[in-house]
Amino acid sequence: MRNKWICGMAILVLSLLLAGCGIKVVVVGTPTPKPTALPTATRTLPPTATPEPTSTSVPTSVATSAPQASPELPANLPTPAPKINLKDLQGRLDSQVSYSFDLLNQGEEYFHAQGERVQDPSSMRIQSLSEAGGVLFEYVIIGSRQWVPTVRFGDTPVSCEGWKTQSVDPLTEATCKTADALAAAYMVVYPYFMYDHEAELTSGPMMVDGVPCYEYAWHDNGGILCHVYLTAETGVPVLFQNPSMAYRLSRFNDPANAILFPVSEMPTKLQLNEARMALNGLASFRYVTDVEMSDKDSSGTYHVEGVYLQANQAWQATWKWNTADAEPVVEFLSIGSEAWMDWTPTDGVKTWLPSVFFADAESMLKDAGPFAKWPVRSPLSPATLQPGSARTVAGMKCQEYTSSGKVQGDQGTTFDLQVNLCVTADKAIPLRLVFSFVSDDVHFTITRELSHLDDPANVVEKME
């Protein structure tokens, strides 16, 4: 059967490398009992619902909340599509800031992996677990950086960046081979549930881990019955399963998913994606962006003030052109994949209209958002610590780093780019960012400062 072959190959590769690459497996952490059964998911179905399938078990070892005896379903849930294509679900996951995963196979070849995935910068932390629940191995990837946090009994991270093309010591090579095999095992197994195949609505709504969901089912190429549970509100998958395997997704857009590079003191070099990752560790923040633009014929500036909430990927901002013939203030509201604009909020009456109604809305939305112009579109050298350049931003101390290089513009123009970051010493949070793009004809400078980090008062409006 297809899933047995996939899992068998993945586990074979991983087990051979764990045993044969000179790596001593050390179980750390508190072991948890091995699951002994696959209990049935909690459900609440309307009287007219399709009868429940007989194979809809949820492994207890990957459950994120206790089943509810009498779950309360919200009223007026969206009507689900009668059919979905599984390949579309990957895009829904990719639209999230981050999520946690737990992949468990309890078939002939036991395999259990858990971790987090972050979309920007593209990153993953993955752990393989023993049947007793202990951590066997851990591997971390942030962009192009790869490392193993601990090896044997040591505490020093082992870098796996470039290990396939560079000469490394035997322990590093063995460690990185094992890490590579672990990532490969996960990357082989989880796409089993997301390929070009239709699934049909079978029941719902129901509660899965406290979230209203609809259930879809299909048979894989080997005839095995599989299920996926999609959130009723957004259609994001939270659980894939067949009789022996479960792939659970949770903690969407949770700051705890941020994967931070281990540092014990202010480093002399800082990767730009480490500072970008630090923003994923914030639940919310406010930001102010000032932009100066000039070319051989004209010049202009604009000012943006906004607030960002990671949980529902929401931000709200005002935009004002600082020129004599400035148009009225523009206000933006973005929640998930939807966005609205109001061109005249200064009159005290807001009229939110979908952004698709406005010309140039897409580019303005990008420039008004909390992550505008980040990440830059070319690899830059690591930013260098500037001694004596400490400053205070919004009452918080930070230390400045600089980096420079070249970047391609939208029209193919090559710009000289300089980046200045002022980051905190504890988590490398970029409190102040300055991006300067310069070409023969164009000068473009963006300055952004953050404040009110994780402030409960940070809110955005709700659309009814």
The answer to whether residue 93 sits within a structural domain is: yes
The answer to whether residue 69 sits within a structural domain is: no
Buried b (16+ CB within 10 A) or exposed e, 260-272: bbeeeeebeebbb
Over range 232-248, report the average pLDDT: 92
Contact of 100 with 116, CB cutoff 8 Å: yes
Q: 165: part of which helix (H) or strand (E)?
A: none
Structure confidence by residue, pLDDT tens digits, 159-175: 888 888 888 888 888 88
The answer to whether residue 456 sits within a structural domain is: no
Q: How confident is the model at residue 67 (pLDDT cuts 50, 70, 90)?
A: very low
Single pTM value for the model: 0.79
Range of the domain at 354: 269-451
In this structure, the answer to whether residues 188 and 126 fall within a common structural domain is yes
The answer to whether residue 70 sits within a structural domain is: no
Sequence-separated (6 or more) residues with CB below 8 Å from residue 275: 383, 421, 423, 428, 429, 430
Contact of 45 with 71, CB cutoff 8 Å: no
**Tokens 């737990």 sit on residue:** 102
CATH code of the domain in which 289 resides: 2.50.20.20
Structure confidence by residue, pLDDT tens digits, 160-213: 888 888 888 888 888 899 898 888 888 877 677 888 899 999 987 999 988 999
The answer to whether residue 263 sits within a structural domain is: no
Counting residues of the chain whose pLDDT is more than 90, the rounded percentage is 37
Q: What is the pLDDT of residue 114?
A: 94
Query: What is the separation of C-alpha 167 from the centre of its chain, rounded to a whole number of angstroms?
Result: 33
Over range 48-64, report the average pLDDT: 34
Last residue in a domain, options 257, 278, 302:
257
Over range 455-461, report the average pLDDT: 94
- Asked if the model's pLDDT at residue 400 lies above 60, the reply is yes
In this structure, the answer to whether residues 252 and 145 fall within a common structural domain is yes
Counting residues of the chain whose pLDDT is more than 70, the rounded percentage is 78
Sequence-separated (6 or more) residues with CB below 8 Å from residue 151: 23, 158, 171, 175
Q: What is the pLDDT of residue 151?
A: 54
Structure confidence by residue, pLDDT tens digits, 88-119: 998 999 999 999 999 998 877 788 999 999 99
In this structure, the answer to whether residues 151 and 220 fall within a common structural domain is yes
Q: What is the pLDDT of residue 326?
A: 56
Contact of 217 with 200, CB cutoff 8 Å: yes
The answer to whether residue 262 sits within a structural domain is: no
In this structure, the answer to whether residues 230 and 368 fall within a common structural domain is no
Last residue in a domain, options 232, 257, 282:
257
In this structure, the answer to whether residues 196 and 330 fall within a common structural domain is no
* Arithmetic mean of pLDDT over the chain: 79
Range from 369-373, 376-380, 389-393, 416-420 carrying the lowest mean pLDDT:
376-380
Structure confidence by residue, pLDDT tens digits, 309-320: 999 899 999 988
In this structure, the answer to whether residues 252 and 303 fall within a common structural domain is no
In this structure, the answer to whether residues 241 and 282 fall within a common structural domain is no
In this structure, the answer to whether residues 405 and 341 fall within a common structural domain is yes
Q: What is the pLDDT of residue 300?
A: 85
Structure confidence by residue, pLDDT tens digits, 401-426: 999 888 776 677 788 888 999 999 88
Q: What is the pLDDT of residue 463?
A: 66
In this structure, the answer to whether residues 334 and 219 fall within a common structural domain is no
- Asked if the model's pLDDT at residue 452 lies above 50, the reply is yes
The answer to whether residue 68 sits within a structural domain is: no
Q: How confident is the model at residue 17 (pLDDT cuts 50, 70, 90)?
A: very low
- Asked if the model's pLDDT at residue 282 lies above 90, the reply is yes
Contact of 421 with 275, CB cutoff 8 Å: yes
**Tokens 């932390």 sit on residue:** 125
In this structure, the answer to whether residues 417 and 298 fall within a common structural domain is yes
In this structure, the answer to whether residues 293 and 434 fall within a common structural domain is yes
Last residue in a domain, options 208, 235, 257:
257
Over range 223-232, report the average pLDDT: 94
- At position 56, the amino acid (one-letter code) is T
What is the number of domains present in the chain? 2
Structure confidence by residue, pLDDT tens digits, 314-347: 999 998 887 555 556 888 999 988 889 887 655 6
CATH code of the domain in which 140 resides: 2.50.20
**Max alpha carbon distance in the chain (Å)?**
73
In this structure, the answer to whether residues 98 and 163 fall within a common structural domain is yes
Of the chain, the end-to-end C-alpha distance in Å amounts to 48
Provide the token pair at 182. 């672990």
The answer to whether residue 72 sits within a structural domain is: no
Q: 10 Å Cβ neighbour count for 76? A: 4
Q: What is the pLDDT of residue 344?
A: 66
